[in-house]
Structure 1
Amino acid sequence: MSASHGNDRKYLRSIEGLSKITCLLCGFIGFLCIVCSSVRLSNFRGCFYLVIVLIGFGVTLTLLLSRYLRCGQSWQCNMSRWSLSTHAALALGHFIASGLVLSLDIGAYTAAAFFGLTIFSINALEGYGSYRRSRQRDVSTQTA
């Protein structure tokens, strides 16, 4: 394989790539748990969870594809801080949505809350890793 192709196949096998793929799978399974439950879809908690999961799915897929296709490498923005804010917002949203559906005592909603909390954990760890990278970059660029 030549490096002239426009994609980064090693990223899909890295920890960051695998965590994004895991988030996508957990989001899809959580979505199916809510949609296939016995509760009507007009329930506020279920609708809120579905909206958060769909937003998270889109953002995570965008992050995965942009990194895989090497988009935005020439941009002049701090990608670590941007990634930190994105993962922090996704983690907070999934935590709130999972808490709301967990408060109902329905098996499918409990399973969806489990997958939502898994996504929360992965995004929180990704956000922490982005924070550490940005702090290390800031410390390494300081002059005495």
Structure 2
Amino acid sequence: MSSAGFPSQHTTATTVSSNTTVQTNIRFDQSYLRTLPGILKCIQITVNLIGFICIECTGVNAYHSRGGWFVTVAMLGFWTTGILLTFYLFHIIEKFYKIPWLKIEFVFCCVMGLFYLIAASLAVSFPIEGYRVGGVFGFIAMCLYGGDAFLKFQSIQRGEIAQGERVTVRQTTTSPAY
């Protein structure tokens, strides 16, 4: 039984507005290197290169497909992560903010994590010390790319953009239905 004077129903309206602020000029900004994604990219590049060097220094790469696969994965990670880092440093990502960069990077990091799982597993199972050391760096790279994918997923869920600012305002209005 409802009290007199109080409506038994009410109407709720939620208004969501979003404001995206970007600067579309290309400029160098090294402050990205001090952010967590920037630090992750630098470490990924380093680990890719060290793993590549470990496999190449064995001199057995041409005779075993597992070495060729590891080198391919390491160089794919090295160059793609290096290009993405350059895009962030020069705000090219911000210039083309309508491209879903976070989703692209999320897929890239997931694929690299899977590729490194396979390549590192093959490398550590080979009875040459350089392959085993390279495999350890491959597992480190797999963890780095997996962590980066997790951060990208969280950013996508929050509705962020890769570079620049997006402010989302939610306003809820409740009114009685008479």
TM-score bracket, normalised by the shorter chain, equals 0.7 to 0.9
Instruction: Provide the rounded CA distance (Å) in 2 between the counterparts of 1:142 and 1:93.
Output: 41
Instruction: Provide the rounded CA distance (Å) in 2 between the counterparts of 1:95 and 1:126.
Output: 15
- Quick check: 1:101 aligned with 2:102? no
Instruction: Provide the rounded CA distance (Å) in 2 between the counterparts of 1:98 and 1:142.
Output: 46
TM-score, normalised to structure 2, is 0.72
Q: CA deviation at 1:82?
A: 1.5
Code of the aligned partner of 2:123: V
Structure 1 pair 38–5 and aligned structure 2 pair: CA distance change class (3 A): closer
- Quick check: 1:36 aligned with 2:51? no
- Quick check: 1:121 aligned with 2:121? no
Query: Which region of structure 1 is more displaced relative to structure 2, 83-92 or 70-79?
Result: 70-79
Instruction: Provide the rounded CA distance (Å) in 2 between the counterparts of 1:85 and 1:32.
Output: 26
Q: CA deviation at 1:105?
A: 2.3
Q: What residue number does 1:134 align with? A: 156
Q: CA deviation at 1:81?
A: 1.2
Name structure 2 gaps, 5 residues minimum: 1-24, 161-167, 173-178
Code of the aligned partner of 2:49: F
Q: Secondary structure at the match of 2:93?
A: coil
Instruction: Provide the rounded CA distance (Å) in 2 between the counterparts of 1:81 and 1:70.
Output: 18
- Could you report, residue by residue, the CA deviation over 1:56-106 in whole angstroms, capped at 9, with x for unpaired residues? 111110111001110031331222211111111111111111111111122
Q: If you compute each CA radius of gyration, which structure gives the higher value, 1 or 2?
A: 2
- Quick check: 1:52 aligned with 2:73? yes
Q: CA deviation at 1:21?
A: 0.9
TM-score, normalised to structure 1, is 0.87
5 Å matches for 1:68-87?
Answer: 68-75=89-96, 76-87=98-109
Q: Percent identity?
A: 21
Moved over 3 A (4+): 140-144
